[in-house]
Amino acid sequence: MPSTANTSTSQPLQLHRRVVPAAAQGPWTVDAIQALLDKPLMDLLFEAQTVHRQHWPAGDIELATLLSVKTGGCPENCGYCPQAAEFDTGVKAEKLMEVDEVVRAAQAAKDAGATRFCMGAAWRAPKDRDIEKVSALIGAVKGLGLQTCATLGMLESHQAQALKDAGLDYYNHNLDTAPEYYTDVVSTRAYQDRLDTLQHVRSAGISVCCGGIVGMGEAPVHRAGLIAQLANLQPYPESVPINSLVRVPGTPLADSEPVDPFDFVRVIAVARITMPKARVRLSAGRQQMGEAVQALCFMAGANSIFYGDKLLVTGNPDVDADVQLLVKLGLNGHRTTTTETDDLQAHAQPQGACA
C-alpha cells in the first residue's frame, strides 16, 4: 500500500528514535528495545518470565471475547482490515445490533468462561447518537457481571465521558505500528488522532486497551518503535493486545510475508518486560500459531487471550481447543472479580503517571 501524507497537520510528540519517557521506568528508547529484541531467545524468555512472575500469579490467564456489534462499511483504509468499505473482502455493512442480541452473545461468552466482553463497531468516529446506543449495550452487558470493553474508532472527550458514565471499563484503540511505518498501513487517519483518542479515554477515567499488529511488512525497528510508543504512554495501557496479521484476501496486506513465529514470541516478551503490570493479550492470528508457539508466548509473559476464534457458544470447537490447551499447559482461566479489577487498575499505572 503506497505511503501518503497524513490528513492532519499535527504530528505525534513521540517520534523516531526517542519517545517521551514513562515516569516510573523511562525512557524506553527504540534502541534499548531493539537490544532486547536482539537477545538470544532463551535469555529473553528467561528475563520476560522473571519479570512476569514478579507482577502476576503463575498460570493466570484472562479470558476475553470480542463481538462485532456493527460490521462493515468503515470509511477508513487500514490495509489489514476486511471491514473497510473500499476493499472487496465479502464483508457487507450491517447496522448496529439490538440490545437483546448482544446480551445473548454476552451470556454465551460468560457461560463459556469469558470474563471480559469487548464490543467492536466499524466506525471511523461514532456520532453522539451512536454513543447513546452503545451506552445501552454497555449497561446491559455490565448487568451480566462481565467487564466491558468497546472499540468504536476515534472519540471526542465528551463521548469518552459518556461511555465512562455508562459503565465502560476498557476502551480499545490500537496504535497498530510505529509512527514511521504508519502511513504505509493507513492514510485516512493520522497517528496523532490515535494518541488524542487515547488521551480522551484516559481523561475520562476509562482503562486503556492498546496494542498493535505484527507481520504487516514492517522492519524489526518498527516493532521496536511500536513497543516504545506503548511503553512510554503515561501510564502505559492496562491491556496490550499483540496481533499477528490475519491476511485477508482483498485487503492491501493480503500478500504480506507471514511473521516468523519466534519473532512474534520476541515481541510478546519485550512487551512484558517493558510493561510489567499490563495484561499482554494474544489476539488476532492466535489460532494459526499452533500450540507450541502459543505455549512460548505464555512463557514470554502473555496472560490474556481472546477466547475462541468465533462468537462464543456452548460447544464451540475453538473454545474446547482453548480449554484443552490451557489444561495441557497447567494454566488457569482467570475470573476477575470487581475488587480484583479495581486493584489491578490501580497497580497498572506507573508511579507518578498522570491519568
CATH code at position 77: 3.20.20.70
pLDDT, mean over the chain = 81
The pair phi, psi for residue 170, each rounded to 5°, is: -135, 145
pLDDT, average across residues 11-34: 58
Q: Does residue 10 surpass a pLDDT of 70?
A: no
State residue 80's pLDDT score. 81
Q: Judge whether 16 lies within some domain.
A: no
pLDDT, average across residues 78-87: 77
State residue 68's pLDDT score. 86
Out of 116, 149, 194, 286, pick the active-site residue: 149
Residue 262's H or E segment, with its range, is: helix 261-274
Asked if residue 272 belongs to a known ligand binding site, the reply is no
Out of 116, 194, 202, 209, pick the active-site residue: 209
State residue 109's pLDDT score. 84
Query: What's the pLDDT band for 333 if we cut at 50, 70, 90?
Result: low
Query: What's the pLDDT band for 296 if we cut at 50, 70, 90?
Result: very high
Lowest-confidence pick of 176-190, 242-256, 335-349: 335-349
Q: Is 209 a catalytic residue?
A: yes
Q: Does residue 311 surpass a pLDDT of 70?
A: no
Name the nearest CA neighbour of 226 among 211, 208, 243: 211
Q: Judge whether 311 lies within some domain.
A: yes
Cα separation, 244 vs 284, whole angstroms: 6
Can you read off the three cell numbers belonging to residue 23? 515516569
Highest mean pLDDT: which range of 60-74, 84-98, 134-148, 302-316:
134-148
Higher pLDDT, 12 or 124: 124
Asked if residue 297 belongs to a known ligand binding site, the reply is no
Out of 266, 281, 286, 297, pick the active-site residue: 281
Q: Is 81 a catalytic residue?
A: yes
**Residues 60 and 332: beta-carbon distance below 8 Å:** yes
Asked if residue 354 belongs to a known ligand binding site, the reply is no
Q: Does residue 350 surpass a pLDDT of 50?
A: no
pLDDT, average across residues 144-164: 93
State residue 94's pLDDT score. 79
For residue 309, give its domain range. Answer: 30-331
Query: What's the pLDDT band for 220 if we cut at 50, 70, 90?
Result: very high
**Residues 237 and 279: beta-carbon distance below 8 Å:** no
Q: Is 297 a catalytic residue?
A: no
pTM here is 0.81
Q: Judge whether 226 lies within some domain.
A: yes
Q: Judge whether 349 lies within some domain.
A: no
Q: Judge whether 353 lies within some domain.
A: no
Higher pLDDT, 118 or 269: 269
State residue 178's pLDDT score. 94
Q: Which amino acid is at 115?
A: T
Q: Judge whether 345 lies within some domain.
A: no
State residue 349's pLDDT score. 26
Higher pLDDT, 74 or 155: 155
Q: Is 210 a catalytic residue?
A: no
Q: Judge whether 344 lies within some domain.
A: no
Q: Is 266 a catalytic residue?
A: no
Higher pLDDT, 347 or 19: 19
Asked if residue 78 belongs to a known ligand binding site, the reply is yes
Cα separation, 175 vs 282, whole angstroms: 16
pLDDT, average across residues 243-265: 87
Residue that is written with C-alpha cell 503463575 in the block: 58
Q: Judge whether 337 lies within some domain.
A: no
Query: What's the pLDDT band for 242 if we cut at 50, 70, 90?
Result: very high
Cα separation, 325 vs 322, whole angstroms: 5
Name the nearest CA neighbour of 125 among 8, 261, 258: 8
Q: Does residue 11 surpass a pLDDT of 50?
A: no
Number of domain units in the chain: 1
Q: Is 149 a catalytic residue?
A: yes
pLDDT, average across residues 114-130: 89
Cα separation, 186 vs 183, whole angstroms: 5
Lowest-confidence pick of 41-45, 162-166, 333-337, 351-355: 351-355
Asked if residue 124 belongs to a known ligand binding site, the reply is no
What is the sign, positive or negative, of the torsion defined by CA atoms of 292, 297, 303, 306?
Answer: negative
Q: How far is CA 77 from CA 20, 173, 181, in A?
A: 28, 16, 15
Asked if residue 74 belongs to a known ligand binding site, the reply is yes
Lowest-confidence pick of 86-100, 256-270, 341-355: 341-355
Query: What's the pLDDT band for 1 if we cut at 50, 70, 90?
Result: very low
